[in-house]
């Protein structure tokens, strides 16, 4: 691992360890080097309009968010067509995210992105190594839905194996918006790496319609309560299912109640809207005696302020710190 990556990890972990329980982290945001994109006309706005680092920081300030985990925006990264060229385009997008972390070290937790289909498995493994060893990223994501490959395909396992070997965490877009990320596929990934975290972003949500997503929402909750190494980022997920997940996991206790992380999916979700909703939802959960759910009325003190602080940021911070420790142990072992 390069010295610059080690220094960045040391600075970030020192900051996270020194922060009190009020840390709020958006666990899913996307940053884009908008200066490198063609100028867009205002009438062409769409719900995922790319945001630069500075725009994300402004949104964090509006939403009362301390830090954001951020990776590249797949809708804003154009692939030229050839695997090697695609890999270079994705490398540049990852490099911008790394630079965001350098410019705003106390606001961003920068994370990586690889694509075994568009870039090829060999290039994806190479990109994973750059993300971890050069950039110091502890999370490396794949998007089977957008890029159209099964989450449990041999190519994914080749890349995920390398991510795990490096001490980092494989992360996946995991939603009902395509046939490529069923619960059985995520479970196959989790079973391959027992005791090692595997993260499903959206907990079965994503861009799917309500009816199409309903089955996967239920299967995802059950999967996470069977396999404690499955972690979920609660972005692009119906609010009713977010609340159901929070209640179910809180009732299950540790480690399950530590495995959920609040997020917005900015720019696909508005950070101020999402975290305003999270805070309002938690206010209702805290006052469990008046809540319509009988499980909360029977346990009115189920959600403490510390528990709520965990979901809003503490859980994610602890997971990142634990994994950075593991990643550094791998680095030290390989350096001997």
Q: How far apart are CA 223 and CA 316, in angstroms?
A: 19
Across the chain, mean pLDDT equals 94
> What number of other Cβ atoms are within 10 A of residue 102's Cβ?
13
Average pLDDT for 139-153: 96
pLDDT score, position 66: 97
**pLDDT level of residue 43 (50, 70, 90 thresholds):** low
Q: Which residue's entry shows tokens 């809708």?
A: 75
**pLDDT level of residue 44 (50, 70, 90 thresholds):** low
pLDDT > 70? residue 46: no
pLDDT score, position 207: 84
Check residue 193 and report its DSSP letter: S
Q: How far apart are CA 303 and CA 40, in angstroms?
A: 45
How many residues does the structure list for the chain?
336
Q: What is the largest CA-CA distance in the chain?
A: 59
Sheet strands (E) in the chain:
25-31, 67-72, 108-110, 112-113, 139-142, 169-175, 198-204, 230-234, 260-262
Average pLDDT for 305-319: 97
pLDDT score, position 300: 83
Q: Which residues pair with 231 in a beta bridge?
A: 199
The model's pLDDT over 55-93, given as tens digits with 9 standing for 90+, comes to 999 999 999 999 999 999 998 999 999 999 999 999 999
pLDDT > 90? residue 304: yes
Contact 30, 113 (CB under 8 A): no
Q: How far apart are CA 123 and CA 116, in angstroms?
A: 7
Q: Which range has the worst mean pLDDT, 156-170, 175-189, 321-335?
A: 321-335
pLDDT > 60? residue 179: yes
**pLDDT level of residue 47 (50, 70, 90 thresholds):** low
pLDDT > 70? residue 54: yes
Q: How far apart are CA 159 and CA 115, in angstroms?
A: 9
The model's pLDDT over 90-99, given as tens digits with 9 standing for 90+, comes to 999 999 999 9
pLDDT > 60? residue 38: no
**pLDDT level of residue 331 (50, 70, 90 thresholds):** confident
**pLDDT level of residue 312 (50, 70, 90 thresholds):** very high
Contact partners, residue 283, CB within 8 Å, separation at least 6: none
**pLDDT level of residue 289 (50, 70, 90 thresholds):** confident
Closest CA to 257 of 209, 306, 217: 306
pLDDT score, position 96: 98
CA angle 326, 136, 56 (to 5 degrees): 120
> What number of other Cβ atoms are within 10 A of residue 298's Cβ?
10
């Amino acid at each position: 691992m390069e010295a610059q990556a080690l220094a960045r990890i040391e600075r970030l972990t020192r900051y996270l360890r020194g922060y009190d329980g009020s840390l709020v982290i958006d666990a899913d945001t996307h940053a884009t080097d908008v200066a490198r994109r063609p100028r867009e006309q205002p009438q062409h706005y769409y719900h995922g309009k790319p945001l630069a680092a500075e725009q994300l920081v402004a949104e964090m300030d509006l939403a009362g968010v301390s830090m954001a985990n951020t990776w590249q925006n797949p809708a804003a990264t154009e692939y030229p067509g050839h695997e090697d060229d695609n890999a270079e385009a994705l490398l540049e997008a990852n490099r911008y995210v790394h630079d965001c972390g350098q410019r705003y070290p106390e606001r961003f937790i920068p994370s990586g992105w690889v694509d075994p289909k568009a870039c090829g498995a060999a290039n994806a493994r190479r990109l994973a190594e750059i993300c971890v060893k050069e950039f110091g990223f502890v999370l490396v994501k794949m998007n089977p839905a957008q890029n159209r490959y099964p989450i449990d395909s041999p190519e994914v396992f080749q890349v995920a194996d390398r991510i795990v070997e490096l001490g980092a965490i494989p992360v996946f877009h995991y939603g009902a918006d395509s046939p490529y990320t069923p619960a059985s596929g995520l479970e196959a990934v989790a079973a391959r790496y027992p005791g090692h975290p595997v993260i499903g972003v959206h907990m079965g949500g994503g861009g799917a319609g309500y009816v199409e997503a309903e089955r996967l929402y239920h299967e995802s909750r059950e999967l996470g309560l069977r396999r404690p190494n499955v972690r979920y980022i609660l972005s692009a997920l119906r609010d009713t299912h977010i609340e159901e997940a929070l209640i179910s996991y809180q009732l299950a206790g540790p480690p399950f109640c530590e495995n959920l992380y609040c997020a917005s999916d900015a720019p696909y979700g508005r950070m101020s809207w999402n975290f305003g909703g999270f805070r309002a939802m938690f206010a209702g959960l805290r006052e469990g005696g008046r809540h319509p759910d009988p499980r909360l009325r029977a346990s009115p003190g189920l959600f403490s302020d510390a528990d709520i602080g965990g979901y809003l940021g503490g859980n994610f911070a602890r997971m990142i710190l634990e994994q950075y420790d593991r990643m550094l142990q791998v680095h030290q072992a390989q350096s001997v």
